[in-house]
Amino acid sequence: MQEPTVLQLKAPVKVFGDLHGQFGDLMRLFDEYGFPATAGDLTYIDYLFLGDYVDRGQHSLETITLLLALKIEYPENVHLIRGNHEAADINALFGFRLECIERM
């Protein structure tokens, strides 16, 4: 699945910033602003995630897995921008690589 380098999104858009493996925070955001599957707004609202999904937090694997599953389920409405923590050298330094190895 490949996306264009520049996204052309129309308002309204729900925008979510750095999650850094804070799966609980992601779930709280969905509680507050609606989970894509249950909010009933996917026909007119896009969900934009601004990268830095992993590292630092204790649940990076759960966080990135949920976001990727949402992208697969709703490819036209869920947009994932890669942050610097999605680069191999950075997540090797800040913990995501180790989390993946330990949980294999």
- The 3-state secondary structure of 19-40 reads CCCCHHHHHHHHHHHCCHHHHC
CA–CA separation, 70 and 49 (whole Å): 11
Please identify which of the residues 20, 59, 79, 85 carries the catalytic annotation. Answer: 85
Q: Amino acid letter at 55? A: D
Concerning whether 59 is annotated as a catalytic residue, the answer is no
CB 54 within 8 A of CB 85: yes
Following CA atoms 81, 1, 73, 97 in sequence, which dihedral angle do they give, to the nearest 10 degrees?
A: -60
Active site amino acids: 85
